Every structure is written in structure tokens, then in C-alpha cells.
Structure 1
Amino acid sequence: MIDYRPLLFANFLAIMLLVTAGFATIQRSPELVGSRIPAVSPSSSGETQTSADDERTPADSAQAGTDRIPRVIPAVSVPDTGSSPETTPDTASAQTAADPQPSTTTEPSPEQKQQPTQARLTLRSNVYDDQVRINGEPRGSTAMDLELEPGTYTIEISKPKHSTWREQVHLDAGDSPTLMARLERYTTVRYRDGTWEHGVKTGQGTYRDSDGLTYEGEFRNGEFHGEGTAHFPDGRIYEGEWKQGTMHGEGSLQRPNGDVYEGEFQDGEYHGRGTLTASNGDTFTGNWEDGELNGHGTLTTADGLMYVGDFRDGELHGEGRLTYPNGGYYRGDFANDRFHGEGVRTFSSGRQYRGQFVDGRFHGQGEIRHPSGASIESTFREGEPYGEVRMTTPEGEVFIARTSEPGVCYRKGSYRETQCPSMEAW
């Protein structure tokens, strides 16, 4: 039988030797990386001067170093596998390329810098949506940064309803100015013969058209709106509040005939509380609707007549009291400027009628009383007694008469004819 143990032992020893040699190689490699060894010059005796080098001072080494030619040993990289591959020229080149080298750039001298050939212009303004023109050419709106050839430029920045900003600037190559435009908003309205200046239709201003209408005051969207004064072609003059082109609110209107109204307006008509003073001196004060007195009001005429009461469409209508300059008065119902209905008419003489009225006359049941105490009771027709009449004298005597029998009276309770007493209104 063959014994393999000596063969296995020999193989084991060979493997151990190989491993030991590998570790020795790895431990020596770091000492070789980047180390330098001097080249030794042969002496006259042909021996290597090793001990003398070790005993030299730094000064001697510096002096001796000028005669040496150093030789660079390339770095040996150790792979992770533990093997040490041979260093080839390609490997050395790759290692050199991996190490960063400082770059050297040569700055051009001042004579080599390129000189600017254009100017830079920056435009700004205080408004949005403006329009920029340079030498009359539209360029859009600000903000704007422009590259321009050297020269002189007229800059114009505009916007509707704003003042136009203009400035002339001279630019040389390399200039970079910034221009800030300030546009003021127009607030003055001016309308002349169909044209709104600067397109402004809202604010304070004046108006004049081809028909002769003039206006000075406030505008909104091209209409008289707010406080203002208008002179109309027909001679009317209105001063006061406006709304959307019509007289509306507090104001006064003077007509060509001399009538003057002061008070409230609505949609161009007298409406609300107001007073109309007519050219003849009559004064109407009260509540107005659609240009006429309606409701409670007063009327005072130039000759002293005064009415206090209800109106309808400018006429005395409803309940009221009419006082005459001579002291007489009427108190009662009115209709269409006349006494109509129940009322009391007192004359300056003291005579008084109480009863019914139709179209300003005694009509219907009524009574006339005299200051003396005499009275007439009857049914009245168009201002006169009609039918049976009851007369009472100042002494208290009562007579019955009939309008069908003029001059014939009967004492109360008697059928005997007698002469009627003399009495006014009979």
C-alpha cells in the first residue's frame, strides 16, 4: 500500500512558503511608493560610499545635492487580491493622469480686452400698460432693457388719460443709464364739439357742444354726475346735483321767464321738497312730484292771497284754507283750484256761508249768516237759494219763503202772507 503522507506534507510546506513570500512582498511595497534613491557615483577605489552619506550635515547634503540626479520610482499599487502585478508604462501614465494638476491660464493684458460697441438703456415708469416710442417707433411697454447703437434718442412713454412723458438722451458705447418716467393721470374733463380731450370722461371739468349747452362741474363716464352748473340753449340755468346726465338731487333751476325753483330734483323734474317762485311773485312750497305740487303745501301770491293745504298736480285739491288779502277766507274742500264739497266761506264784511259748494259756488244745502244775527237757510243752486227758504231776522223772527213766489213770506206757524223782511242775499 502506498503512503501519501510524505507527499501531502511536502505540498503543505510549499503552500506555506508561497503565502509567506506574498506577505513579505505586501509589507515592503509601501516603502517603495514615491521613494527616491540617489544615483551613486563610482569612486576611484570602486567602493560604494554609503557610510559617508549617513554622516553628512544638512549643509553638506545641500551642497552634495547639486551633483545628484534623482530618479523617481513609480508607485506600486497593491490589488485587493494580495498579488503584486507588474507596473507597466501604461499603468504609470494612468496614475499620473489621475492626479490633479494645477491649471495655468494666461490672463490677457489690458490691451487685449474687447471694447463695447453698444449702449444699454433701461426704461421704467410708474404705471402699467404704457406705450414706449423711441424716435417715433413703437417698442412695447415698460419695464424694458434695450441694447442700442450709440447716438441720440427721443424717448416717449404714454398712456390714455395720462400725461405723456418725453426725454431726449445721448448714448455712447458702454453707457447704461436708467430712465424712470412718471406719468400724471388727467383729472380735468374737457369736452369740445364732440371730442373728449385725452379721452378723460370722469372727474372735474367743462363741457360745451355745438348746440350751445355748456356745463362746468363733475363728470362720470362722460355724463354730468355730481355737482355742476349747466346753461341750456333755451336759457335755463341749473346749478346743483346731477346723476347720469340729469338733474337729480338738491339744486336750483332758473327759467327764461324768471321762474326759479329751489329744492329737490329727480330725473330732471321737481321732485321732493322744494319752492317755486314765479316771475309774478307767487310762491309755491311743498312736496313735488314729476314737476308739480302734490300733497301738502303752501301758496302765497304777490297780492297777499295765501293757501295752506293739499295740492294735486299743482292745483288746490283736498282740504285747505284760503285766506284773501281783505281778510276773508275759505276753509274746507277744494277740487281743481275751486271750492268743492263741504266748506265755510267767510267774507270781509263778516257774512258767512256754511254748506256745500260745487265749482266754487254755493250749491246744495247751506246757510248764510250775517253779522247782525240774521240768517238764511235753504237749498242753494249755483250760488242762490232755491225752493223753500227759512229766514231769521236779527230780532229772532222766522219767515218762510219760496223762490217760486218772490216777495211773499209766511210767518212760522202761519199761513197768512206777509211782506218779506229786507235781507242781503234774498
Structure 2
Amino acid sequence: MVDFRPLLFVNALVLMLLVTAGFASVRQEAALPDSLVTEPDQAIEPVRTMEPTPVEPPAPPRAEPFAIAPMPENPTVVALAEPPATMETLSDVQPEPVRQPPTTGKLDAYTTVNFQNGNWIGGVKTGDGTYEDSHGLRYEGHFVDGQFHGQGSLTYPDGRHYEGEFSNGHFHGKGLLRNPSGISIEATFNQGEPYGQVRLTTAAGEIFTARTKEPGVCYRDKSYRATQCPQLKGW
């Protein structure tokens, strides 16, 4: 039987020699060159800094001399001032007085309608005012050409009173007609006559609703049952 142990020992020894030679070559390649190595005894020169050059300030500007030209012997006259006598004459002129508007009392006399004793005071027949004839009929409200027109109130000699809208002397529009007994009629009037739906209130305080297209038929307040309209005394 052959013994291989001496051969294995020789192979191992050769391998170790090869590895040692490889490490030596790597260290030689990694070594720095002598030109890059700084010797400790070599002195380093300091960096020189440049000093700023001083700048001289600019000289201030010199003022040029100013002189006025002499006046000519015969100058040309452009304008003359007013003599003192003329100035006194102008100061004596007084401005026109400002006209003051008429006072409130005078203004009312031209805009307020007032009919008394059959006469239109001041001849004014259009505007707001009062009317009162010899029988005791009194109107207070708006007029147009001497007619009750617009919003107003009319009181009869017997105490009946209407308040609402007028047109050419007639009840026209929404209005309320009252009687001293407590009876009232509230409606929309058309040339003095109720038109459409009418609200009636009796002297006892009962309230009825009537329609002019159903003469004599009334409906009690909050009721749909038709009944005969009550007699309204005094109308």
C-alpha cells in the first residue's frame, strides 16, 4: 500500500509559499509614491492677503456765480395797474341782495285749499285742504280742480262719516262708512256705490258679509249659511 502523506505535505508547503508571495506583491502596489509624501521638516509658506487700495472722495461741485442783467434805459410797458381813484370806485359797487324764499305761512297760502262760505280762499282748488259749506258738510283731504279726489274724510251734518278714497267727488276705492248708531259698511266703492264683497256691522255688533251680485243675501261671520241681510237703520 502506497503512503500519500509525504505528497500532501509537499503540496501544502507549496501553496503556503504562493500565498505569501501574493500578499507581498499587493503591499508593494498599494504603497504611496515618494513624491506624495510630505516630509515633516519641510516648512509651509503662509498665504499672503491683498490690502484694499484707499479711494479718495469726489470733490463737491462748484456753484456758478448768479448775476441779474441790468435794466434797459427805455423798457417796453406790458401792463399798467389801476389808479387808486378807480379802485375806490369799484369798491363802492354793492352786490345785489339775495332774494329770500317766502316764509312757511305765505307758502301755505298758495298751496293749501280752503273753501269757506261759498268761496275758494286765494282761488286755490288743487292740493290738500278743507271744505265746509253752510249746511255743516265738512271734507278734509285732497282736492283736484275743486273736487274731492284722492285720500280724504267726509263728515255729514247728521254725524255719518266716511274715510277712504275719493274720485271726482264720489266714494271710489276702499273706504269705511260709519253711522253714529254703530252701524258700519266696509267695502270697495265704485262711483259712490259698494262693489263686490261688503262687510256689514250692525248696531248690536253682529258681522255679516254680503255680495253685490246677490242682493239681499248675507252670510254671518265665520259661517257659510246664507241668510237675509239685516235692516240697517239710518242708511
Give the TM-score of the pair, scaled to structure 2.
Answer: 0.50
Which residue of 2 is the match for residue 231 of structure 1?
none
1:390 equivalent in alignment to 2:199: yes
Alignment gaps of 5+ in structure 1 = 1-271, 273-285, 288-292
Which residue of 2 is the match for residue 326 of structure 1?
135
Name the one with the larger helix percent: 2
Q: Provide, for residues 221-279 of structure 1, a one-character-per-residue CA deviation record: whole Å limited to 9, x for no partner.
A: xxxxxxxxxxxxxxxxxxxxxxxxxxxxxxxxxxxxxxxxxxxxxxxxxxx9xxxxxxx
Change (3 A) 1:415 1:422: same
1:380 equivalent in alignment to 2:189: yes
1:335 equivalent in alignment to 2:144: yes
Shift, 1:423, TM fit:
2.0
Which residue of 2 is the match for residue 407 of structure 1?
216
Name the one with the larger strand percent: 1
Identity of counterpart residues, as a percentage? 47
CA RMSD of superposed structures (Å) = 2.7
The answer on whether the counterparts of 2:115 and 2:132 sit within 8 Å (CA) in structure 1 is no
Find the aligned partners of 2:139 and 2:113 in 1 and give their Cα distance. Answer: 16
SS at match of 1:316: coil
Find the aligned partners of 2:184 and 2:115 in 1 and give their Cα distance. Answer: 33
Q: Which amino acid aligns with 1:295?
A: T
Find the aligned partners of 1:401 and 1:372 in 2 and give their Cα distance. Answer: 20
Shift, 1:328, TM fit:
1.9
1:421 equivalent in alignment to 2:230: yes
The answer on whether the counterparts of 1:363 and 1:382 sit within 8 Å (CA) in structure 2 is yes
Alignment gaps of 5+ in structure 2 = 1-101
SS at match of 1:357: strand
Change (3 A) 1:306 1:344: farther
How many equivalent pairs are there? 131
Q: Provide, for residues 292-327 of structure 1, a one-character-per-residue CA deviation record: whole Å limited to 9, x for no partner.
A: x94236444xxx34667xx7xx44111111112122
Shift, 1:366, TM fit:
0.3
Shift, 1:355, TM fit:
0.4
Which residue of 2 is the match for residue 296 of structure 1?
112
Find the aligned partners of 1:335 and 1:369 in 2 and give their Cα distance. Answer: 25
Q: Which of 126, 144, 157 is 1:348 aligned to?
A: 157
Find the aligned partners of 1:399 and 1:381 in 2 and give their Cα distance. Answer: 20
Shift, 1:421, TM fit:
1.1
The answer on whether the counterparts of 2:199 and 2:207 sit within 8 Å (CA) in structure 1 is yes
Q: Provide, for residues 138-196 of structure 1, a one-character-per-residue CA deviation record: whole Å limited to 9, x for no partner.
A: xxxxxxxxxxxxxxxxxxxxxxxxxxxxxxxxxxxxxxxxxxxxxxxxxxxxxxxxxxx
Shift, 1:363, TM fit:
0.3
Change (3 A) 1:425 1:306: farther
